[in-house]
Structure 1
Amino acid sequence: MRDAKVSYALCAKKELRETLRSFAFYLIGVFLFLSAFVAIFNLQSSINIENGLAYYTLLPAGILMTVLQSPQFPSLSLMNTLYAKQVANLGKKSEDVYIISFSGYFFTAFQASQVFGNILSYVILYGFDQSENANYSNMSLGNISEVDYSICGSADCQNETIVSENILNYKPVNKISLYVLISIALLLELTATLVHAFLLPNEDDFKNKSLQISQWKIKETSPIDGSHEDENVIMGEKIMEKKDDINGDMDKICETKSCIDHEEETAFLGLTEKKTESTTTGICDVAVNTAQSLIKHVADKTFLLLIPITLYNGLSMAFVFSELTRAYTSCSLGVQWVGICMAIYGLSDAVLSWMVGKYGRKFGRIQCYLFALIIECGNYIYCIFWTVGSHTLISIFALFFMFGFSDGIFQTIINVTHLDFAEDKKSASSAWNVLIVIGNALGFITSTVFCVKTRIYINLGFLIVGFVLLVISDIIHRNRKKMNSDELEMQIK
């Protein structure tokens, strides 16, 4: 029995180390991929400002990108959950604690990519801009003598005549800088693809590891007196003796197939499924089952009440990517400053994502939401009254920092809330992703239709209504959990 406990402890320690190393490679791939993406994406509302964001070219390109990218974020959210469950099997804390922690680490990497990708954009565009405009001595307000600042900020309505008169502030002086930036972004994308393709496990690997860990735990807790052992446990012990020598090399014990063959293990644990289920189930059946799970999830009232706040999260991101970068940064400072402003946004977002993932549960979900709500309302009020002045550079940096501050809370907590409220984590991830994308789409579409001030009022409406409904949803969820707990307790009694 003592040897079994030592065996389990060593195996668990080795498995935890391997899982965390795999998670680190996963985050590196996410970081590289998103660094390339944001470096290009955040410039779009500025460099394509002519003719209403080059509507007839960007619209089909945006649709194509959305279709190709649609599986990405549900998959990433699911990977966070799989890693969290794997560590929860090896750790002492509850699964929910690890899910919020790993989601926090993911969003930290996600926002850290904003820092790196946008610094990359800034260095390239600013460097080329200085080589073309070495005679400009005022670097804090771009080409100050040539810009009409009255149309910046909340007064921005993308008037074609005014835009054409100030076009130099929205587009890079040297097009070669864009080609260099795109080439580097493609190299980062390729590297990220190779990291994820060759260094990450698939879902079946996670299932096999979970079964293996369960086997170790059963072996550890097996009684010494064989007369009290369950017949299945005895069978498992015999299989273990055939497979491993506990006093032997621990690395062999901890290999994927060392503890027990997959078929014997699943039978031993009572988890055997129909052997041909995965091969005989048709694609149509899988699609129907997935659709049924998703419909069941979206029909739940707790999810329905989360729709406005999740849409707002997408709207707010679109506001930062389009309105803040165009109407506040490019209009007053020049497009070359977009990168450094978004890097500041990403830095504060990453720090807050990490803090929410680590300490969010201690403060409480609603308290975190309320804090972010106050910050966000202050951001929008400042945006309404902001004007170009002697401290424009500092004020814009502060504005991006505070929007990143609030988004680091919102994005992490909203994602975790969807996962926490749902029984089916896959459906929850998919539904969350769809709502974020819809919010992004609504934000980018209205960007070409409404003035910035109108966009601010729309966002504030979604934010306040979404928060109220979120509180109601949280109350329903807590009552439901309490009811289920009470029912379980009655059954046990």
Structure 2
Amino acid sequence: MPLTSRTRSASLTLQPGHGDRPDPASGHGGKLDFDGAKPAGTTEAKLRDAEGADSLIVTSFGKFERRERWTILKNVLAISFAFSCLFTAFTGMGNLQSSINSEGGVGNAGMATIYVALIVSCLFLPSLVINRLTCKWAIVVCTFLYSLYLLAQFYPRLYTIIPGAIILGISAAPMWSAKCTYLTQVSGPWALLIRHGDWSSARPSRWIVKFFGVFFLFFQTGQIWGNLISFLVLTPEEQATVSPSDEGLAICGIAYCPGSEEAFNNTNLQRPPKHQINTLVGVYLALGVAASVLLAVLVDSLGKYGENDRDTSASGTRPLTLLLATMMHMKKPYQLLIIPLTMWSGFEQAFLMADFTKAFVSCAWGIHRVGLVLIVYGITDSICSFSFGFIIKRVGRVPLFVVAAALNYAAIATFIHWAPGPDETHVFFLLAAGWGMADAVWQTQINALYGVIFPDTAEAAFSNYRLWESLGYAAAFIYSDLLCVTRKVDLLITVLTIGMLGYFAIELMERRKAKGDMKVTKE
């Protein structure tokens, strides 16, 4: 899903994400060091009224009244709510592509195209688009372009879905980068307003984290609302429901191969009626357009908060420079070791969206129940993503990675040995919850690991993260309509195992390095 923010001591580096989640790395504007140093263009001064109360705070951004902080908060909330609307639509639609647009592999082909386009977009477009349109209008325009992909769902053919997917993938990186830049930029004026213009106690980096926390509080709910809408709209009337035969259920789960439903007439995999699909697409399209309108109407231009003071002099050469830095970064041993686990992050999410939804849930229980099962996934993923930030402080990074891998291995073992059917519905929810818990670790901690092991080359490192995770997504969607589930599960086991071995190698080298540093210090 096209697309968390993390902090490291005195700096915060932010990056646009891909698919349905944002990732921490450098986006437009590079690294921002806010703790202990005053950003250029932040001259603090205060004007007082006759009674001595603070009336204005003057910075090089401009003169702000104290109530300006409510305007900033309004902007943050408007962006957060608009993204929640947009990704309610996108995630809900994306989770159904392998089930409702399976004919000719159109749905999965579109999803693969999104992530291929995203790779190109991340490397070349964010700086160029933002400099041309400004942050606000880059967000508005790019969110609107998502609606073109949703519009194509009314008539899903390769010649409509693929162009829509290309446009969405290209627009995703500038959109996320502009959003990251906006939230980061307004944290400076906000911190000064809260601290009455005293920069020494303002600590904008704290407010960056809080703003992103508010954003993701809204954003993560998109998985829940999107799936709830699909469940409610696609639920058939009871009298129209026809259960598949035992032969039809026998092809589900690990035994499923693309196209086998036609030979065995599995009624669960029949496409819902056209009017239901159109109603669902109409609801999602309305949410996507509403997101763009809300952003255009409610969000203020970033110019009043110092957008024009940012350094954009290198924007013309940055895409090529970033591409070269990304390629050169692959020479680093740590980068080579972390590539398999990074690709696993894409593989496991794509498997859930394309294969678990179709081969297990849709095949054995019905397409309309995909949303119901994935609501549990979304809730679990959101809660664990928030909770693991506190847990890692107590238990460390390694136990979380081990638990996540164990959850995935346990789920894969269930995929292999379980014959899904409508009489064991609780297993669908348990699998979704376990996969969501593991995904919360992969999405938060792989990002954090990149920040830890590549502290001096964050931009090139996170560019590699985007590249390899997106390749994992694209590869999984491409082979989804070519391989049987048993072969896909073999690939999952292989990629996860190699990824964990690479991760353990990095941890071992880090510990040896730490011991070496301690010995040098003692001597």
With structure 2 as the length reference, what TM-score do the two structures score? 0.65
Residue 442 of structure 1 is matched in structure 2 by 475
Q: Structure 2 CA distance, aligned partners of 1:384 and 1:43?
A: 23
- Give the secondary structure class of the aligned counterpart of 2:257: coil
1:186 and 2:323 equivalent? Answer: no
Deviates more, 1:143-152 or 1:438-447: 143-152
CA distance in 2, matches of 1:297, 1:201: 38
Within 2, Cα distance between the matches of 1:467 and 1:93?
37
How far off its partner does 1:153 sit?
Answer: 0.3
Q: 1:386 to 1:119 in 2, by over 3 A?
A: same
**2:284 corresponds to which letter in structure 1?**
A
Structure 2's unaligned 5+ residue stretches are 1-45, 58-65, 110-156, 193-198
Partner of 2:103: 50
Does structure 2 retain, via aligned residues, the 8 Å contact 1:152–1:387?
yes
The match for 2:170 among 62, 67, 87 is 67
CA distance in 1 between counterparts of 2:104 and 2:322 reads 42
Give the structure with the larger helix fraction.
1
Deviation at 1:21, TM superposition (A): 5.8
Equivalent of 1:432, from 465, 468, 483?
A: 465
Are 1:143 and 2:243 an aligned pair? yes
Alignment partner, residue 224 of structure 1: none
Q: Which runs of 5+ in 1 are unaligned?
A: 137-141, 209-261, 264-272
Is residue 467 of structure 1 aligned with residue 520 of structure 2?
no
Is 1:319–2:419 an aligned residue pair?
no
Q: Quick one: higher RCO (CA 8 Å, sep 6+), 1 or 2?
A: 1
SS at match of 1:148: helix
Query: 1 CA distance for matches of 2:503 and 2:305?
Result: 33
What RMSD, in angstroms, separates the aligned Cα atoms of the two structures?
A: 4.3
Q: 2:487 aligns with which of 445, 454, 460?
A: 454
Q: Secondary structure at the match of 1:391?
A: coil
Select which of 425, 432, 437 maps to 1:405. Answer: 437
Label 1:424 to 1:345 Cα distance change in 2 as closer, same or farther (>3 A): same
Listed as ranges, the matches of 1:9-88 within 5 Å are: 22-53=75-106, 57=158, 62-73=165-176
Cα distance in 2 for partners of 1:207, 1:425 equals 24
Pick from 226, 232, 242 the counterpart of residue 123 of structure 1: 232
CA distance in 2, matches of 1:432, 1:78: 19
TM superposition shift of 1:403: 1.0
Residue 205 of structure 1 and its aligned partner are, at CA, apart by: 7.0
Offset from partner CA, 1:343-401 (integer Å, 9 cap, x none): 11111111111112344333322221111111111111111111134632111121112
1:89-168 alignment to 2 at 5 Å? 109-126=218-235, 129-130=236-237, 133-134=238-239, 136=241, 143-145=243-245, 148-160=248-260, 162-163=261-262, 165-166=264-265, 168=267
Sort the Cα spacing of 1:115 and 1:439 in 2 relative to 1 into closer, same or farther, 3 A. Answer: same
Is the 2:373–2:428 contact (alpha carbons within 8 Å) kept by the matching residues of 1? yes
Task: Please point out which of 177, 188, 193 is paired with 2:276.
Answer: 177
Q: Report the Cα distance in structure 1 between the residues aligned to 2:82 and 2:519, rounded to whole angstroms.
A: 44
Name the CA shift for 1:92/1:151 in 2 (closer, same or farther; >3 Å): farther
Pick which of 116-125 and 368-377 moved more. Answer: 368-377
Q: Deviations over 1:44-71 (max 9, x none)?
A: 1011223445768266654554334344
**1:458 and 1:104 mapped to 2: Cα distance?**
35
Contact 1:311 1:435 in 2 (8 A): yes
Aligned equivalents of 2:178, 2:508: Cα separation in 1: 29
Amino acid paired to 2:323: A
**Which TM-score applies when normalising by structure 1?**
0.69
Task: Determine helix, strand or coil for the equivalent of 1:403.
Answer: helix
Contact 1:105 1:357 in 2 (8 A): no
Q: Do the aligned partners of 1:36 and 1:186 also contact (CA within 8 Å) in 2?
A: yes
- Tell me if the contact between 1:302 and 1:474 (Cα under 8 Å) persists in the aligned partners: no
2:243 partner amino acid: N
Which deviates the most, 365-374 or 78-87? 78-87
Aligned-residue offset at 1:28: 2.0
Q: Go from structure 1 to structure 2 and tell me whether the alpha carbon gap of 1:282 and 1:70 turns closer, same or farther (over 3 Å shift).
A: closer
Offset, 1:167: 5.5
Q: Residues of 1 paired with 2:504 and 2:424: CA distance? A: 37
Residues of 1 paired with 2:286 and 2:359: CA distance?
31
Quick one: distance in 2 between partners of 1:15 and 1:371?
45
Of 409, 424, 433, 1:392 maps to 424
Deviation at 1:449, TM superposition (A): 1.8
| Secondary structure of 1:388 counterpart | coil
Query: 1:34 and 1:419, CA in 2 relative to 1: closer, same or farther beyond 3 A?
Result: farther
- How many residues of Structure 1 are paired with residues of Structure 2 in the alignment? 407
1:340 Cα deviation from its structure 2 partner: 0.8
Counterparts of 2:271 and 2:399 in 1: how far apart (Å)?
Answer: 43
* 1:307 maps to amino acid: I
**After alignment, is 294-303 or 331-340 more displaced?**
294-303
| More strand, by proportion | 2
Where does residue 254 of structure 1 map in the other structure? none
